[in-house]
Amino acid sequence: MNIDISEEAGVRYLHFGSDWVQGAMRIARPFALELDYTRGMMVPLLLHPDDWPRKVLLIGLGAASLTKFLYRYRPQAKLTVIEIDPRVTAAARQFFKLPDDPARIDIRHDDGADFIIKTRQHYDLILVDGYDADARTGRLDTLPFYLDCRARLADDGLLCVNLLSRRKDFHNSVTRLQDAFEGRAISFPACESGNAIALGAIGAPPAPTLEELKTAAAHLKAETGLNLLPALTRLAQSRHLVRGVLKL
């Protein structure tokens, strides 16, 4: 697998030997989330107070966008990152300003599906965004993997997955998530590029109203500059808001 870097209009992109974009960074704003789907993966922050999460597992480093955002704006969070290819980590450090802070960012070079079997840690938030050069997930989109993720979530923990399909058909993936989480899984389109964001939950069901989510989004934007209102609009257009209340 080749690792390629390109730049256009002030944005630096990561590629794995193909045209598929594996990550991006606006050079003038290295801690911001440039791609729509990465912004959508921060919707879980709207469901908890500012001191959440404290332990995060990220499977797939890419251009380190999610890692850097959480590092900057959730200073209480300890981040464990599983990346299968050490060259991706090197590229993230050289070209995408990944901080070198082992006390808060623990990067391990391992297969994500293997790691989730071996670890005995529990995490408040698990983020899965792992693809190869041909946009394939392999074991990271299987029922056993989702069951293993559920077993490694802390009380009231959330799993957030980036689903990518050339056909924009995520039915099978969402079915697997729903099976793993006993029905407590939802998905909503993140953007027009073929991504969707899926969430799986355990513990006490969050039941925020759309207005409460919008208030939380305004607070997050004021704190971080991240605008999640477009993501909430897509979520509101899904079937997961019942009489204005999120059902997860």
Rg, the chain, Cα only = 17
pTM of the model: 0.95
Query: What confidence score (pLDDT) does residue 60 get?
Result: 95
A 10 A CB-CB count for 73 gives 17
Position 105 in a domain: yes
Position 182 in a domain: yes
DSSP structure string for 47-111: GS-TT--SEEEEE--TT-HHHHHHHHH-TT-EEEEE-S-HHHHHHHHHHS-----TTTEEEE-S-
Averaged pLDDT score across all residues of the chain: 91
Average pLDDT rounded to a whole number, residues 58-65: 96
Sign of CA dihedral 52, 64, 101, 218: negative
Position 72 in a domain: yes
Average pLDDT rounded to a whole number, residues 56-83: 97
As annotated, the active-site residues are: 129
Query: What confidence score (pLDDT) does residue 204 get?
Result: 84
Report which secondary-structure segment, H or E, holds 222. helix 210-224
Position 219 in a domain: yes
pLDDT for 90-147, tens place per residue?
999 999 999 999 999 999 999 999 999 999 999 999 999 976 545 567 789 999 999 9
Instruction: Look up the CATH number of the domain holding residue 134.
Output: 3.40.50.150
Q: Which of 68-77, 96-105, 165-174, 222-231 has the lowest mean pLDDT?
A: 165-174
Position 11 in a domain: no
- Residue 231: exposure state from Cβ atoms within 10 A (0-12, 13-18, ≥19): buried
Give the residue with greater pLDDT, 248 vs 135: 248
For the chain, percent of residues with pLDDT exceeding 90: 75
- Would you say 248 and 240 are in contact if contact means Cβ atoms under 8 Å apart? yes
Bridging pattern class, strands 4-8 and 241-242: unpaired
Neighbouring C-alpha atoms within 13 Å toward the C-beta of 197 = 25
- Residue 158: exposure state from Cβ atoms within 10 A (0-12, 13-18, ≥19): buried
- Domain hosting 49: range is 34-237
pLDDT confidence of 39, banded at 50, 70, 90?
very high
Position 99 in a domain: yes
Query: What confidence score (pLDDT) does residue 181 get?
Result: 97
**pLDDT for residue 239 is more than 60:** yes
- Would you say 198 and 189 are in contact if contact means Cβ atoms under 8 Å apart? no
**pLDDT for residue 167 is more than 60:** no
Give the total number of structural domains in the chain: 1
Position 2 in a domain: no
- Would you say 165 and 195 are in contact if contact means Cβ atoms under 8 Å apart? no
pLDDT for 185-208, tens place per residue?
999 876 766 788 999 999 988 889
Position 56 in a domain: yes
> What is the distance between the alpha carbons of residues 77 and 24, in angstroms, rounded to a whole number?
23
- Would you say 197 and 236 are in contact if contact means Cβ atoms under 8 Å apart? no
Query: What confidence score (pLDDT) does residue 223 get?
Result: 97
- Would you say 139 and 132 are in contact if contact means Cβ atoms under 8 Å apart? no
Query: What confidence score (pLDDT) does residue 192 get?
Result: 67
Query: What confidence score (pLDDT) does residue 46 get?
Result: 97
pLDDT confidence of 25, banded at 50, 70, 90?
very high
